[in-house]
Structure formats: C-alpha cells, structure tokens
Amino acid sequence: MIRSGLQRRRARAGKLFVAPNLTAILVFLLFPLGFSLYLSFHSWDLFSPPRFVGVANYRRLFSEDPLFYIALRNTAVFTVLTLVPTFVISLAVAGLLNRKLRAVGIFRTIAFLPLVASTVAMAVVFRFIFASDDGLANILLDWVGLGPVPWLTDPHWAMVSLSLVTVWKSVPFAIIILLAAMQGVPENLYEAARIDGASGFRRFRSITIPLIRDALSFVLVITVINSVQAFDQAYALTGSNGGPETGTYVLGIMLFQNAFRFYEVGYASALAWVIFAILLVFTLIHQWLSRRAEVDL
C-alpha cells in the first residue's frame, strides 16, 4: 500500500514536471498548426469573421495564380544552388578540420563564426557587399580586371547572390554535423587502409563517406527544408517583393505578401500547407531511398 502511494506521488510529480513542456507544445505548435489548417479552408482578412470557402484557396493556388509557379520554380532553383555548394564545401572543410593539425582549433572557430550571426544582420551586410557601384565584391573584381557584376539588380545574379548568402550561413551547421560524425569513425579502419596502401582520398571515399551516411542524409534534409522555407535572408537582401522583377520571388516571400500585405490569411495558410506537403513528400521519398540503399548494402 505504501509502495503504491509512493508510485502515485512519483507519477504525479512526473506529470507536473512535463506539464509546462506539453502546454508550450499545445499553445505554440499544435494550436497554430490546427488553426492554420482551419484557415486554409476560409477567407479571412484579419478584421472580418472568417468565411468558409472550402477548397477554393487551393484551387486558386494551383489553377489561377501564376505567381505560385514562379515562386515554386525559383525555390527549386534556389534549393539546388544552395544545396550543392553547402554539401561540397561542408564535406571538404569537415574533412580538413578532422585532421590533427597545428592550430586546428583556431580554424574550427573561424569556420563556425557565421553560425552565431543573425540571418537578417548578415543579409544586410551582404547587401552592402553586393552593391553595384561601391560594393566590396565589385571592388575586388575590379582589382583583378573583371567588370562589375549586377549582383542585386539583375534577376539571375540576384538569385546567385541570395544563394551565396545562404550557403555562407548554412555551411557552419553542416560542418558541425559532419565533423561530429567523422570523429566517430574508428581510427583502426584508417590504419588498416593506410597499411594496405590506400591514399588519403581513397580512405575518405571508401571509409569516411559510407560511415557518415546518416549525417549526410540529415544535412541533406535540413538544407532542403531551410531552403524551401527561406524568407528572412531574401527579405533583407532583395526586399519584400522578391525582386528585381521576380528574380528572388520564393515561396517564403509569396507567403509573407499574401498574409501581411494583401491580408489574405486563408490563402496564405493554404500556401503554407502546400509547402508542408512538398517537404513531407520529399522527406518520405528520401527516407525510402535511404532504407533501400541500406538494404542493398
């Protein structure tokens, strides 16, 4: 009887400790998700009561709004331009930082500095760097004999500029994940390969990469999710219109404009759930391919 009473008190204490976290999840995660799904089937301008419209928001998104497909295309291009450099640079830098070199701690600190910088502040700084007339980037290009580049005034170069800023911000996080995975690879595998005469690149390709596959998959998924949801760096770098023209008009900018400029909150909620569906499908396909690759091994 005493034991059962003690168990009840422990269970009650455990519930009290967990209650604040569960309340926060309910208030700040589950309720907003449910409310946005509810709003996606309504027309609401923040002032008048929501009006039920069924799937009209989704029908308008896919069949009546050409800007959606422009934003979808730009987001896909932006994702590729961000993902490939982030993947290659972070893998190479993590491999270099994993070595036992003199003052490697200093290089690790320098590599991780962009991770602690504010995204908006970083984008504002790069806006000055990419200025067409007196920006640092064009000044350096002029020193080596290359003409000025319209970084933020040409639609194509604006997308490249946005990708460069995002890569600069994304690489440190990817380096941390990959470096932690590399440090977990058993050293005796490298020793055995070294004795067999394998070169450094061969050891990296045949031992390191296969054994950090889970970390690589994580970096891939996180980078794609962050790229599809990108907003703050695009807003700070090229403005709220996704310019010049529609050069950086990504899904995040479209969501912001419909919700807070046009006050079409229901339509913006429908767009948010379409973005969620795209990311969900991508994640499920990636997990299926990862499991299939593990079975083949």
pLDDT confidence of residue 111: 74
Stretches where the chain sits below pLDDT 70 are: 1-3, 101-104, 295-297
pLDDT value, residue 56? 96
Give the chain's length.
297
Burial class, 175, CB count within 10 angstroms (exposed 0-12 / middle 13-18 / buried 19+): buried
pLDDT at residue 29 in the model: 87
pLDDT in tens, 279-292: 999 999 988 888 87
What is the reported pLDDT for 235? Answer: 93
How many CB atoms within 10 Å of residue 166?
A: 27
pLDDT given at position 3: 58
Distance CA 151, CA 85 (A): 18
Using the 8-state DSSP alphabet, how is residue 114 labeled?
Answer: G
Task: Say what angle helices 155-182 and 119-129 make with each other, to 10 degrees.
Answer: 130
Of the CA atoms within 13 Å of residue 176, those in its CB half-sphere come to 11
